[in-house]
Amino acid sequence: MNSKPKIVVLGAGYAGLKTTKELTKLFTPEEADIILVNKHNYHYESTWLHEVAAGTINPNQARFMISDVINPNRVRLIYDLVEKVDTENQRVVLENGELTYDYLVFALGFETNTFGIKGMAENAFSIVDIESSRLIREHIELKFAQYNNNPNSKDSDLTILVGGAGFTGIEFIGELVERVPQLCKKYDIDRRKVRIINVEAMPSILPMFDKDLVEYAKKSLSDRGVEFRLGAAINECTEDSFIIGDDNEEIKAGTIVWTGGVTGSSVLGESGFELTRGKVTVNSDLRAPGFDNVFVLGDCAWVMDEKAGRPFPPTAQAAMQHADVCARNVKALVHGGPLEDFVFHDRGTVASLGVTDGIASVFDGKSLKGKSAAAMKKVVDNRSIFLLGGTKTLLKKGKLRPF
């Protein structure tokens, strides 16, 4: 009879993959069985998906094989879709089977949240994973390819409409201003015919940054042709437009991308966890309330900042810090030691505005703009690749080339 505890990790994003790596360091094969479940056989850098969607990097650059960084002889790798967690019986229901657990780490990542905007889910693209990002890339290029060859083409077919002015939306737009001139040259299109329009209900972009950095970002993108419609709520998304504002203005477009919100995996709700805006508000030790052996991490968790009275932002750096604490707490549960509370170490915030431009707040609030911020963004991206995949993956996938 197998008396070893079975530790099951759901999801191979930043939190799940990092947790798995740490568990293999903390447990010998004789101490615990570790199982990692993921839909795909690869991990993708979700903070690079906007580049895939815009077409400025190849989809393969943003992902690497899980078996290249996790030894299949040490960790059982299951590539399947998680449908539900039966917490009462400590069982995970998969599309093609099921498995039991003694300790569970729930890190299935995010899904798009359209906040109930009419037609958004049906008519807009979303940047969710490699395939959805690749689809946006191909759709945009198709619109350019068809423009001079289809007698029914309209100038609005070249308009790219982006809903939401948070990280994903603005970084996506920053890549688009790099990509559009290349597409115009490739398909012999006047750049002035292409419009990139950002619509945001809030009065500002990138609310997590200081005002001077926000103004810099807005001016940088505006100078490169981006149009901003701020303080304009999206009332409806049709097949080829946003309808916005109090006067129901219609903005036509050939490509519509929604980046305005995400929520935790819908499997949380299917599994009966208590949710707040689609996520679990976890205890200070990252366990789900009411469960001694279930941890919820990354985009599926609200981790409270007690000093600020609000959750920490669900960033990649936070997710990997969740992983470190979670792995140590699993070890403490198995061996009977004390559990530790999560403490977030803020290493700064960086947003790219294209290949050679960006803004950053780092080193206890020091502001960076332009090329220095873009360089810092590369450092952050490379650090993530190194922490998850090691030196070999960094050399293969990292952004090591200078500007």
State the catalytic residues.
171
Cα separations in angstroms, 181 against 131, 148, 171, 189, 224: 24, 16, 17, 9, 10
**Helix/strand/coil (H, E, C) string of 62-80?**
HEEEHHHCCCCCCCEEEEC
Which two three-digit tokens encode residue 261? 């919100």
**Residues 6+ positions from 245 with CB-CB distance below 8 Å:** 232, 233, 235
SS3 5: coil
Q: What is the side-by-side strand order in the sheet with 82-86? A: 82-86, 91-94, 97-100
Cα separations in angstroms, 101 against 88, 94, 134, 275, 314: 11, 13, 35, 22, 26
* Rounded Cα–Cα distance for residues 49 and 53 (Å): 6
Which two three-digit tokens encode residue 324? 């470190």
Closest CA to 76 of 25, 15, 24, 13: 24
- For residue 81, the 8-state DSSP code is -
- For residue 167, the 8-state DSSP code is H
Residue type, 317: Q
End-to-end CA distance of the chain: 58
Closest CA to 233 of 314, 133, 121, 120: 120
Neighbours of 126 (CB within 10 A): 24
Dihedral sign computed on CA atoms, order 398, 259, 111, 323: positive
Closest CA to 390 of 382, 399, 402: 382
* Residue 211 phi, psi dihedral angles, 5° rounding: -60, -40
DSSP per-residue string spanning 169-200: HHHHHHHHHHHHHHHHHHTT--GGG--EEEEE
Closest CA to 133 of 257, 298, 316: 257
* Rounded Cα–Cα distance for residues 360 and 188 (Å): 36
Which two three-digit tokens encode residue 184? 């115009």
